[in-house]
Structure 1
Amino acid sequence: MGILIRERGGDWQEPVMGYDSEKALQAIIHEHPSLVTGSLPGQADTVIACRELEGGVGPADVVVLDASGNLTLVECKLARNPEVRRKVIGQVLDYASRIWQMDADEFALAWAKASGGVSPFEALEDEDGLIRAAVAENLAAARFRIVLAVDGINDDLRRIVEFLNRITVPETGVIALELERASAGGTEVLIPTTFGTDFVEAKAAADPVARRARWSQEQFFEWCEENDPAGGPLARRLVTALLGRGFILEGGNGQRPSVNFGLTTAAYGLRWPVGIAARKDGVTVEIRFSDYKAIPELRDALAEAVESIPGIPVPVAQVRELGFEKRPSIPIRDFTPAHIDALPGAVARAFERAAADVQQA
């Protein structure tokens, strides 16, 4: 049975299926890298992506880096391309082998060259060098996730993915990501499907880095008490306020403790707009504007809601000037109890307002 699409109040019609080019598929993944990392085990919630990263043998289509230093290489192919079954495998493995030979500085230089001069560690605000250290470790160990992004998964591709996962080491996992696209008039629908995640999860269980335990709330508070006694009580107050407003908590799996706060809405699913992290100089609060830069109504509502809290030390104006590319990380000691009490409600209302704007459009 085919797909039918209609505008509200209009007639049902068959959409146009597929992409004009592989570049269009590449652009979607670059703008929404969580489509890739959301299906992989052990990935951090904050991710950035780079297109056409040069590895010495031609550029990789998309490279994704998360806040824990995990690397994912993405090769995009359309079903009509005869390379989808054979050459794509050789290409992506060749890219992986070239990146494997880089050190962290070379990787950062290649990323900056492909991304308008912005270092990935600067984009992720890696002030204490923990992300750089994790990237260096992953590069040296060839610890990559490889994603074959296509508009249609066939039996041949399934067989190749299963075989590659069987013969490669735990550090390397391969999945196929199908992004079926339908468009009609001004409406577009994207239908993601993955194959191979069960193989990757099984392999990751044998990898000591991939199976690194997530920090618990108690461990995070213990770190605060020992390393930031002034910020610790404020951190406890913010955690309590966020949980009381309906956010869910999940610990990070980086080298230092962190906790992330998610909110589920019908319009946007589960999102993680707030994080509290242990840094070299103490506890910091992150408002993840950059995660929503491609969702204008949500990023704007979030910015306005945070900005409406009198005197809050979040540099919203600077975030706007930088095109929502930054996710500010602010020492929690800069917040007052009033700021902390107001922040969870402001973030939640921003999601509610953005969802309402989408429904009215």
Structure 2
Amino acid sequence: MNNAYLLNPDGSSNPMQRIRCSDETRELQDILEKNLDLIPGDQINPEDPRRWICVKRELPIEDPTTGDNRWSCDFLLLDQSGIPTFVECKRFLDSRSRREVIGQMFDYAANGSGYFSRDLVADYLTSEALRRGTTLDGLLQTLGPDSGESLDDYLDLVENNIKQGQVRLVFFMEEARPELRSIVEFLNSQLERTEMLIVEAKQFQSANQRFVIPSLWGYTEEARTIKKKVTVTSRAGPRRRWTEEEFFEALNGNCAPQQVDWLRGFSDRLKASERLTLRMGNGRKTGSLIVTFPELSSRSFLFFDSNGGIVFSLHLVSNDEGGSRLKDLVLEHFSRVPRLAIPEEKRSGYHGVEDWFGDRSEIEAFFDKLEALS
């Protein structure tokens, strides 16, 4: 049965041919590895869409009774909140029973989380960074983690989630059978800390092109509410909501008095602005003053940290018309300031600048430009 169509210029349509996967590795695993966004982060969390990095493909998992590598999970991913996400790829025609498939996932969660450590995750991430031709910091910057740009803070977040049993289990399938959907939906509504989800990646062929349409199964609003409450509670301890007083106290220990005084005055200007917003960050070790321009983007493009640095975060800005305009304004203005220019390779992650105070007039000029936009 066809359920996807190509529209022609005259308004008529041609049905696309439905494809059944015969090679799980080539038609599911390889495709997912190169396209992690096929796990639809915006459907998992519409308020804060999930972003992904691959930690390990073909993840070995030990049997706790023997210490041998008894299982192998297709993928271990991490999102920006440091939640370990186990992904198992399955063909529709896989003959194994739904009970065996579900049990396999619980084996991964119970035993995988049991032996993971901060150091093991760091080793896997280092290997993944080398494989992709980047650094560990560079890999992390592509994710834009909730903890800020510090690797230590992010690993703290991952470690805390592992200890709390905060994990996500995802079946990545071309199509799920109705009985498997029902089981996953039921379990997801009962499990408080663990998410169990199905991502259907239906594939279609038209001429020489293949199309993949991902959709999420397993989340009800009841389940979403339960997990949101538990997640907030479980993370309340290690995270820190900085006050302005705490931020400037930390800054005072890291910067010259002249720089602290200037930033105090500049933050007062931002708070008084009718077009700019300023809020405090929640890093565990480093405070931040986060600046946004809501008319173009709800996400921050720049922040000042309590170590005395200024950090550009263009990768957090949306790619819609407003966000693209904001990025262009930032890049154009600061490209003429050598110390503040953002290298091309840093535009997809955080770009921190420590020695910026000599160019504070250029920072002031940029915010003058934003406030004067028509």
> Which bracket does the TM-score occupy, shorter chain normalised?
0.5 to 0.7
**Residues 95, 298 of structure 1: alpha-carbon distance in 2 compared, 3 angstrom cutoff:** farther
Q: Give me the whole-angstrom Cα distance separating, in 1, the residues matched to 2:280 and 2:50.
A: 11
Query: Residues 135-159 of structure 1, C-alpha deviation per residue, up to 9 Å, x if partnerless?
Result: 2222233321222233334432233
Structure 1: stretches of 5+ with no match in the other structure: 350-361
Report what 1:5 is aligned to. 6
Question: Which residue number in structure 1 is paired with residue 57 of structure 2?
Answer: 52
Cα distance in 2, alignment partners of residues 227 and 129 from structure 1: 18
- Structure 1 distance, partners of 2:123, 2:92, is 33
Check if 1:23 corresponds to 2:54.
no
TM-score by length of 2: 0.65
Residues 19/345 of structure 1: CA separation in 2 closer, same or farther (3 Å cut)? farther
CA 250–201 in structure 1, closer or farther in 2 if over 3 Å, else same: farther
Kindly provide the amino acid, as one letter, of the partner of residue 319 in structure 1: E
Q: Kindly name which structure, 1 or 2, has the bigger radius of gyration based on alpha carbons.
A: 2
Matched to 2:33, the amino acid is: A
TM-score, normalised with respect to structure 1 = 0.67
Q: Which residue matches 1:173?
A: 195
- 2-structure distance, mates of 1:252, 1:146: 30
Amino acid at match of 2:29: K
Query: CA 1:139/1:2 → structure 2, altered by over 3 Å: closer, same or farther?
Result: closer
Where does residue 357 of structure 1 map in the other structure? none
- Structural mapping, 1:199-210, within 5 Å: 199-207=223-231, 208-210=233-235
Aligned residue number for residue 75 of structure 2: 62
Aligned pairs, number: 329
User: Which residue of the other structure, out of 104, 107, 117, is the alignment partner of 1:103?
Assistant: 117
Aligned-residue offset at 1:128 = 6.6
Following TM superposition, by how much is the alpha carbon of 1:202 offset from its aligned partner in structure 2, in angstroms?
0.5
Change in Cα spacing, 1:92 to 1:12, as seen in structure 2 (3 Å) is same
* SS of residue paired to 1:244: coil
Q: Compute the displacement of 1:130 (Å).
A: 1.3
The 5 Å alignment of 1:102-251 reads 102-116=116-130, 123-124=139-140, 126-127=149-150, 129-165=152-188, 168=191, 170-185=192-207, 188=211, 190-196=213-219, 198=221, 199-207=223-231, 208-210=233-235, 221-228=244-251, 229=260, 230-234=262-266, 244=275
Unmatched 5+ stretches in structure 2: 22-26, 62-68, 142-148, 252-259
Q: Distance between the aligned counterparts of 1:210 and 1:234, measured in 2? A: 32
Q: 1:232 to 1:66 in 2, by over 3 A?
A: farther
Q: Distance in 2 between matches of 1:181 and 1:250?
A: 44
AA aligned to 1:50 is V
With over 3 angstroms needed to count, the CA separation of the structure-2 counterparts of 1:25 and 1:254, relative to structure 1, is farther
Following the alignment from structure 2 to structure 1, what is the Cα–Cα distance between the partners of residues 189 and 269? 47
Aligned partners of 2:169 and 2:194 also within 8 Å: yes
Matched, 1:72 2:73: no
Q: Deviations over 1:37-69 (max 9, x none)?
A: 651489686643335062344553333323443
Distance (Å, rounded) in 2 between the aligned partners of 1:17 and 1:250: 49
Report matched runs for 1:298-309 at 5 Å.
306-309=330-333
Describe the SS at the equivalent of 2:200.
strand
Shift of 1:91: 3.4
Change in CA separation of 1:283 and 1:70 when aligned onto 2, cut-off 3 Å: farther
Change (3 A) 1:91 1:277: farther
Please state whether the residue corresponding to 1:79 is helix, strand or coil.
Answer: coil
CA gap of 1:184–1:235, structure 2 versus 1, over 3 A, is farther
Per-residue deviation, 1:277: 6.3
Letter in 2 for 1:202: I
Q: What is the rounded CA distance, in whole Å, between the counterparts of 1:144 and 1:287 in structure 2?
A: 27
Alpha-carbon contact 1:214-1:251 (below 8 Å) kept: no
Q: Secondary structure at the match of 1:75?
A: strand
| One-letter amino acid of the structure 2 residue matched with residue 123 of structure 1 | L
Equivalent pairs: percent with the same residue?
A: 17
Distance change in 2, residues 1:95/1:132 (3 Å)? same
**Within 1, Cα distance between the matches of 2:122 and 2:348?**
17
